Amino acid sequence: MRGRSARAIPPWRTALRWVLARVGGALLVVWLVATIVFFALRSSGDPLEAILGGPGSQAGPEAVEAARREYGLDQPLVVQYLLQLWRVATLQLGDSYARRQPVADLIAEQLPGTLLLAALALAAAWALAVTGAIVSTSARGRIGAIVNATLRGIEIVATVMPGFWLGAVLILVFATSLGWFPATSQGSHPAGLVLPVLTLAVPIAGFLAQVSRDALLEADAAPFAVTARARGAGEPRVLLRHTLRHASLPALALSGWAFGNLLSGAVVVEVLFARPGLGRLLQDGALSRDVPLVIGAVTVVAVLYVAVVVLTDVVELFVDPRLRGPRPAALRAPDVAVGS
Amino acid sequence: MIRRLGVSGAIALAALAVLLLAIAWPGLVAPGDPLAISPAEGFRPPSAAHPFGTDESGRDILTRIVHGASASAGIGLAATALGIGLGLVLGFAAGLGPAWLDAALGRIIEVLFALPTLVMALLLVAVLGAGAGSSILAIGLATAPGYARILRSRVRGVARSDYVGYARLEGDGPLTLFRRHIAPNTLWPLVSTATLGIGQAIVWVSALSFLGLGSPPPSPEWGAMLNAGRVYISTGWWMTVFPGLAIVVTAVVLTVLGRRLAGAGR
């Protein structure tokens, strides 16, 4: 998907195709989410029981009747499936059984906090990754080799570092021992955001750094960089005007993936730092087996993902002018392989 | 052998040996009982008697970590096996099937891959209920798209390569092609993918347990220990740090070995 979006996108016909492809992608996401939910509910045995909070739920007869009607459980399977599809497509998220509140309200209330956290973490990851890439490409000679090896090691450890442990260690060092930052986080209070944002950013930064370092090294040896140096451009100028832009492309293309990863991480981080948000809502929903709430949250996450992919596509257009007009194939951005 | 592994590879291999010993024969590494409580010994910081300290019920953390290795690694292994199994079916169907199937499955795999792993796992756990079995199912299903994605591109690469083309020209049927060329060339690289995957799966499964959705409390499973220690994070750091360290070290070891294997295969 990412590779495809990094192709030439010129006049209105290609632009239209691009829009259609994105809309198609969004519809596919909706269909998949609805289908997964449908089969997951049926695989649990009794879907009605699952919706109402699992075995031993305390649902009254009117709640049972309401859920049966809402999900069309007295209808044939095909109708139930289409109904599920329609509900997801029109973002009808229903009511949370456990909290007796509309799911949409609950999510709308918690979403801004999580978005703020994810956006800050993505920015921090970018800053860390780009700094790492610049340091490791500009360090030369023997010291450069040592710096490089160290950075590579840090990157591997950072990439596999689970948020629940990194966050715990950060709390122990910076909250319990040093007392620099609070161990809990709420809203947009800046001091409380530092540790959660770091916890989320480090693993992603490790991954982005690996990708952008390779791209920066490649751009550094490219003819245009050599020419710029031959014309007498200094290193900062070569970096800022020529190579950095290239180095940011693969990492930029990965930002959609990184955002998804951030939402996974947000569940753990919000629980660890007792921070209200979509992730805590999800954990709470899974713990109390509040299926409508969890389905709603997953649907919103899927929609968010589509939005972020569109956004990164647009940013890519700004960063890489080659994508704006048809050009010889040799000049196109390299296809990026995404690791899992 | 050691030279080819490099220093980091050799250290990783040694650590893996310790881990395997803990899984195979936990009593030899730590002779104590992981479940024996002695409330008078509770909340002890690390000391000579308890190198990793004790938890709220006076259970020795080191003993629990050693005895929990088989549970954590077992759940991670099972989830990876499920994920790779599903990935194999999807990847081979897409890579070897007709063009329309490949186009359809390819799209679906990409979208599923994009859904955050933990979010998908939470959806499945909410429906199935918490527990070790659900963790395996949830993480297995949530990681399958990633494997399918890798396998699809690998199968396509091999199926379109020249040597498969020549073998086909020589009259090899689809079954022979699959058995002699496609399967060996796609399955062997899976060893490194699986090694990396088990490390990742152990982290995901621990995350579920950390959230209170995995193995129930008295179990010495690493994630469950983290979840229990979370409450005491400011007073008993050792209850969180050491089980977490076991997870991190295991994941790093498997990642380093997986990368070495991938490098050796090239």
| Mean pLDDT of each 10-residue bin along chain A, 340 residues long | 49 73 76 78 69 67 76 76 78 76 88 91 90 80 83 84 89 86 80 90 89 81 81 78 78 79 89 90 86 83 80 78 54 36
Q: From CA A205, how far away is CA B24, in angstroms rounded?
A: 36
| pLDDT (0 to 100) of residue A55 | 63
With 0-12 CB in 10 A as exposed, 13-18 as middle and 19+ as buried, what is A274?
exposed
Decide: A273 and A117 in contact? Cβ < 8 Å. Answer: no
Q: From CA B122, how far away is CA B116, in angstroms rounded?
A: 10
Residues 188-247 of A with CB under 8 A from B: none
Calculate helix-pair angle for A255-272, B190-210, nearest 10 degrees.
Answer: 30
Query: Which residues of chain A lie closer than 8 angstroms to B251, CB-CB?
Result: 160, 162
Phi-psi region of B32 (alpha: psi -120 to 50; beta: other; left: phi over 0): beta
Query: Which residues of chain A lie closer than 8 angstroms to B87, CB-CB?
Result: none
Of A203, A210, A185, the C-alpha closest to A280 is: A185
Nearest CB neighbour to B146, from listed A172, A272, A340: A340
Asked whether residue B143 carries a pLDDT value surpassing 50, the answer given is: yes
One-letter amino acid for residue B62 of the chain: L
Q: What is the DSSP code (8-state) at residue B111?
A: H
Decide: A209 and A133 in contact? Cβ < 8 Å. Answer: yes
CB contact under 8 A, B122 and A294: yes
Helix, coil or strand: residue A339: coil
Query: Which residues of chain A lie closer than 8 angstroms to B245, CB-CB?
Result: 165
| pLDDT (0 to 100) of residue B136 | 92
Q: From CA A18, how far away is CA A5, in angstroms rounded?
A: 8
The contacts of residue A129 (CB under 8 Å, 6+ apart) are A204, A205, A206, A208, A209, A211, A212, A251
| pLDDT (0 to 100) of residue A199 | 93
CB contact under 8 A, B123 and A164: no
Q: From CA A65, how far away is CA A199, in angstroms rounded?
A: 45
| pLDDT (0 to 100) of residue A202 | 92
Task: Judge whether B116 is closer than 8 Å to chain A, CB to CB.
Answer: yes
The contacts of residue A136 (CB under 8 Å, 6+ apart) are A144, A147, A148, A151, A152, A213
Q: From CA B136, how far away is CA A167, in angstroms rounded?
A: 25
Interface predicted TM-score of the whole assembly (ipTM), two decimals: 0.82
Helix, coil or strand: residue A96: strand
pLDDT confidence tier of residue B2, bands split at 50, 70 and 90: low
Neighbours of A244 (CB within 10 A): 17
Query: Which residues of chain B lie closer than 8 angstroms to A261, CB-CB?
Result: 116
Q: Tell me the pTM.
A: 0.82
The contacts of residue A10 (CB under 8 Å, 6+ apart) are A324, A325, A326
Best probe of the B interface among A264, A269, A335, by most B CBs < 10 A, is A264
Helix, coil or strand: residue A1: coil
First to last CA, chain A: 14
A232/chain B closest Cα distance in angstroms = 39
| pLDDT (0 to 100) of residue A45 | 64
Helix, coil or strand: residue B43: coil
Helix, coil or strand: residue A153: helix
Give the H/E segment covering residue B195: helix B190-210
| pLDDT (0 to 100) of residue A339 | 33
Span B195-225, pLDDT tens digits: 888 988 999 999 999 888 888 877 888 988 8
Q: Which residue of A has its CA nearest to B111?
A: A29
Q: From CA A184, how far away is CA A196, in angstroms rounded?
A: 9
Neighbours of B1 (CB within 10 A): 7
| pLDDT (0 to 100) of residue A337 | 35
Q: Which residue of B has its CA nearest to A152?
A: B256
Task: Judge whether A44 is closer than 8 Å to chain B, CB to CB.
Answer: yes
